[in-house]
Amino acid sequence: MTRPPVANLPAEEALIGAMLYSGRPIELAQDANLQPGDFHNHNLAAIYTAILDCAAKGPVDPLVVSTHLKATGNPIANGAGEYVALIGLTERCPAVSNAKAYVEQVKRAAVLRGIATAGEEIAALAYDQPGDAATDDLLAAATTKLDAVRRDDAAGGFVTMESAIAATWDELHRRHDAGTTLLGLSTGFAVVDDLLGGLRSDQLIIVAARPAMGKTALALNIVRHNTMQDGKTVAFFNLEMSAGDLAGRLLSDLAAIPNRRMQSVAPRSSDFEPITTAVTKWGNSARRRLFIDDTPSMTPTLMRTRCRRLQRELAKEGRSLDLVVVDYLQLLGLGRRAENRQNEVGAVSRELKLLARELRVPVVALCQLSRGLESRDDKRPRLSDLRDSGEIEQNADKVLFLHRPEVYDRDNESLRGRALVVVAKNRNGAVGEEELRFVPEFVRFEDAVPSVALRGRLAG
């Protein structure tokens, strides 16, 4: 049995009537990004379009709109013109002061129609798909159709410079009152924060290195600081290891027990007391602050869906999602066929940037560097070493390289535990480098007193 489309004709008529009576409802509709396609009634959609055209030139009333419809030669102009003149839509508006509610009701009905249409198209995907269609491709296509409904419903547009200045003024006062120079979340490392200015909302931050340099360890340090010390909520997409492995690393760090005993050999009886203390410490300071998704075949589309769902759940508790971490970028797929690997990685990085903008949170994405740097005498990473796609550099707001020279010179005791964080790109900020200390037993990084000798050696 076919169901009739979702529609709210009384709200559509009341809204058009309000617009024909007063200019304020027109502003409300435009502010809400109301589109002609949001009207189910085609005549009312034509009238709405005419109202917007007329409002751009001057005051609006039924006669002005009716004349405009006939003059534009719209296929339904005559009928719509009669609709305005004869039915008297202004009389169908109970109260002009309720125009905002009418806008919301029309938008809601449009979203429900979009969901219904997407549902029908998704059902068609399931029933009419080719026999060799990949399940992940079908899921991605289905999610994309629902995402299109959300994006069509999203408001946007210009803001005045005065509004932007006011927001900046408020932010400056907030930082002054809080006694912080950070524009975003802290990394947990004072020297890196001084250089970066913080992990800002809306930004894509790339942390890149060769394997075994400690990318995941650095990300975990950032997560630990934000969850346990700053009370932030983090979504961690871990494509390289399981949630259990990640938990083992975190407990190793908190309990100060060598990671190898947590991961590969039987723990000692004496380990359980510090582990219990670590678990209690985590529960007291960061309970339900870190959400881990270790789905191996993750895509940006699925990631967006799960982040939005998490945002909705957190909002019910009066909380927000503050940070997204991805480990690591090249393990993400698009969920659809790409022309080549370079295009796919470039598209993934663009999707991650859009994710940061849509969620209004910083997205920290770990990234593998090309092995080509290991054939050079100078092993310090460069932007050109970003593997598979130059678009990663283009889409990123900040690019950090993690470099531990001891990996290439194991016999040099002076390099033991030394790590360099190189900020190679920093939109609206400075580039440079700072030194950290790596503690391999617990797979963690710490602030370190910069070594002038080391920095000179590495620079050479």
Domain shared by 117 and 229, yes or no: no
Ramachandran area for residue 188 (φ above 0: left; ψ -120 to 50: alpha; else beta):
left
Domain that holds residue 232: 184-459
Helix/strand/coil for 177: helix
pLDDT at 86: 44
Collapsing DSSP to helix, strand or coil, 37 comes out as helix
- Looking at every residue in the chain, the average pLDDT score rounds to 80
Check which CATH number belongs to the domain holding 404 and give it.
Answer: 3.40.50.300
What's the rounded Cα separation, in Å, for the pair 424 and 434? 12
In CATH, what number is assigned to the domain containing residue 127?
1.10.860.10
Asked if 365 and 293 sit in the same domain, the reply is: yes
- φ and ψ of 437, to 5 deg: -110, 130
Quick one: angle between helices 300-316 and 341-359, nearest 10? 20
Q: Does residue 226 share a domain with residue 141?
A: no
Q: Both tokens of residue 429? A: 């900020």
Residue 161 lies in a domain: no
> Does residue 19 contact residue 60 with C-beta atoms inside 8 Å?
yes
209 shares a domain with 79: no
Same domain, 145 and 194: no
Residues 344 and 333 sit within 8 Å (Cβ to Cβ): yes
pLDDT score of 361: 92
* Domain assignment present for 170: no
Q: How many domains does the chain divide into?
A: 2
Do residues 405 and 422 lie in contact, with contact meaning Cβ atoms separated by under 8 Å? Answer: no
Pair (136, 189) in one structural domain: no
**Tokens 């408020």 found at:** 170
Q: What is the pLDDT of residue 315?
A: 86
437 and 305 in one domain?
A: yes
Residues 101 and 247 in one domain: no
398-403 vs 363-368, strand pairing mode = unpaired
Last residue in a domain, options 101, 133, 152: 152
**Predicted local confidence at residue 282, as pLDDT:** 83
Clarify whether residues 188 and 320 are in a common domain: yes
Which residue, 103, 129, 152, sits at the end of a domain? 152
What is residue 303's three-state secondary structure? helix
pLDDT for position 419: 86
Enter the DSSP assignment of 74: -
Pairing type for strands 234-238 and 398-403 reads unpaired
Residues 189 and 100 in one domain: no
* Same domain membership, residue 383 and residue 269: yes
- The answer to whether residue 178 sits within a structural domain is no
What was the pLDDT predicted at 141? 72
pLDDT tens string for the chain (460 positions)? Answer: 567 778 889 999 899 988 888 888 888 888 777 888 899 988 888 888 888 888 878 888 887 888 788 787 766 555 554 555 545 667 777 888 888 999 999 999 998 988 888 888 888 878 877 666 667 667 767 777 777 676 555 545 566 777 878 888 887 777 777 776 677 889 888 888 888 888 988 899 999 988 888 888 899 999 999 998 888 999 999 888 888 888 888 888 888 877 777 766 667 777 788 888 888 888 888 788 889 988 877 888 778 878 888 888 888 888 889 999 998 788 877 666 566 777 778 788 888 898 898 889 999 999 888 777 777 877 788 888 886 666 788 888 999 998 888 888 787 877 887 888 889 888 877 888 888 888 878 888 888 764 444 444 444 3
Which residues contact residue 295 at a Cβ distance below 8 angstroms, ignoring those fewer than 6 apart? 237, 239, 302
Q: Tell me the C-alpha distance between 195 and 190, whole Å.
A: 9
> Of 112, 133, 152, which marks where a domain is finished?
152
What is the tens place of the pLDDT at every residue in 198-219? Answer: 898 889 999 998 888 888 889 9
244 shares a domain with 125: no
Helices (H), 153-214: 161-178, 190-196
Q: Are 187 and 220 in contact (CB under 8 A)?
A: no
The model carries a pTM of: 0.66
